[in-house]
Structure 1
Amino acid sequence: MLLIQFNSFYQAFTIMVAIVFSIAGVLLGLMLTGRPFGVVMGGIGVIALAGIVVNNNIVLIDTYNDLKKTGMSPLEAALRTGAQRLRPVILTSGTTALGLAPMVIGVSVDFFRREIVYGAPSNQMWIELSSAIAGGLMFATILTLIVTPAMLMLGEKKEARSSGAALGQVA
């Protein structure tokens, strides 16, 4: 689907690489909370995180392509894309991570007894899931705003080199 949307193997590859890199953030988030990586809840966290990462990168790359179509140079388009998408990406990631913070630290509310409970047995399985998503999301935000535009620029330089060589020009 990504290949159909962007008509570029490299841009689809860039999105997939962001997913792989964001798994490092998942592992870092679990390490910071002292939780092991469980296949079930950690895996569900990785899948949920992949959806958010793909969405952020699709929006970023689509903005980049739109700016390039208006006649901007690839460097200027990458810089403007990062500037335009900075606030939406940070707000989306920040609100998600802050919303997951009570689950990450294991806090729940017992409505029947009207008390806040820390470390309740019902929270134990959700801590791993929320740690995976929150940690991976904070790491993926940096990837989306810095590494993805850098990879797009690398793709442009590679494309320019190969088209220059095809035309008989040596760069």
Structure 2
Amino acid sequence: MKVNTDAGPVPIRNFVTITPKPKIGTLSRSDAKRVIAVKADVAPGAQAAEKIEALKTWIAQAGLDPHVGVEFKGEDEEQAKAEAFLSKAFSAALFIMAIILVTQFNSFYSAFLILSAVIMSTIGVFIGLLVTGQPFGIVMTGIGVIALAGIVVNNNIVLIDTFDRLAKNAKDMRGAILRTGAQRLRPVLLTSVTTVLGLMPMVLGMNIDFVNHAVTVGAPSTQWWRSLAAAIVFGLAFATVLTLIVTPAALMVRANFQDWRARRRGASGHGPTAEALDERTKPAEAAE
């Protein structure tokens, strides 16, 4: 092979050393850089995320040339993109819900109670994943958490709205809270129970064939949905307890704080007297 120069064609062997090497069929480049793709499939029963973390640890300890860079594509790249998208979507959803709740209730405390129930419901999500032995999937579990937020918000809105309505004409805040719990117990439980029962076949990995009248447990088609269903079922069960117990208790804390602040103002001559406040905190009469 000859190379054209100003002095004419010159054999390439005059300025290079030719060494036999294995033939390379294709040279791949990305962003003008040489790229070599190493592909592999995950073994049955193994988790891709765990294997990728093991590979990253090995690469960090391998002492590769500083000019060599390693990037993980495929499933790891898609999960990273999905994680970024779902994180932004969840944050945006919480922000929009906070604005709407503050506008409707005209109370930062009520909005805080509702959103805190959404955040604490994730504890139930992790418990559900541990019980069912499901890994934390960024896509399906993340979608389950976002769907769960809508249900939890609805239950707390119903409870707090009922309390605000009863508290307007109530002299006893404790009695108003108890009546709120009694009135909203059935709707909240019905919403939670029907949702949980509807998703239980997915949690148990059941595939129901209505055409052939067959029920299959552990079918491959159900594996993709189990983490989503487990996130909603266990998260909703945990959030229901928060809605019926913690939320009324938090409302009572606010009522006690308001009474305490009013007592201080009354003692200083800038508010109602202690006798008037005692009427507010007395237990409800039997007629009520």
Using structure 1 for the length normalisation, give the TM-score: 0.93
Superposition map of 1:89-168 within 5 A = 89-111=188-210, 113-167=212-266, 168=268
Superposition map of 1:2-151 within 5 A = 2-111=101-210, 113-151=212-250
In the alignment, the residues of structure 1 paired with residue 141 and residue 259 of structure 2 have an alpha-carbon distance, to the nearest angstrom, of: 41
Q: Return 5+ residue gaps in structure 2 as ranges.
A: 1-99, 275-288
In the alignment, the residues of structure 2 paired with residue 82 and residue 30 of structure 1 have an alpha-carbon distance, to the nearest angstrom, of: 30
Task: Work out which structure has the larger RCO, using CA pairs closer than 8 Å and 6 or more positions apart in sequence.
Answer: 1
In the alignment, the residues of structure 1 paired with residue 253 and residue 198 of structure 2 have an alpha-carbon distance, to the nearest angstrom, of: 35
Deviation at 1:66, TM superposition (A): 0.5
Identical-pair percentage: 57
In the alignment, the residues of structure 2 paired with residue 146 and residue 34 of structure 1 have an alpha-carbon distance, to the nearest angstrom, of: 28
In the alignment, the residues of structure 1 paired with residue 204 and residue 171 of structure 2 have an alpha-carbon distance, to the nearest angstrom, of: 46
- Pairwise CA RMSD of aligned residues? 1.8
Deviation at 1:115, TM superposition (A): 2.3
In the alignment, the residues of structure 2 paired with residue 78 and residue 165 of structure 1 have an alpha-carbon distance, to the nearest angstrom, of: 24
Distance change (3 Å), C-alpha of 1:134 and 1:149: same
Work out which of the two has the higher radius of gyration on C-alpha atoms and give 1 or 2: 2
Higher helix share: 1
In the alignment, the residues of structure 2 paired with residue 5 and residue 164 of structure 1 have an alpha-carbon distance, to the nearest angstrom, of: 29
Deviation at 1:145, TM superposition (A): 0.5
* Alignment length (residue pairs): 171
Using structure 2 for the length normalisation, give the TM-score: 0.56
Q: Return 5+ residue gaps in structure 1 as ranges.
A: none
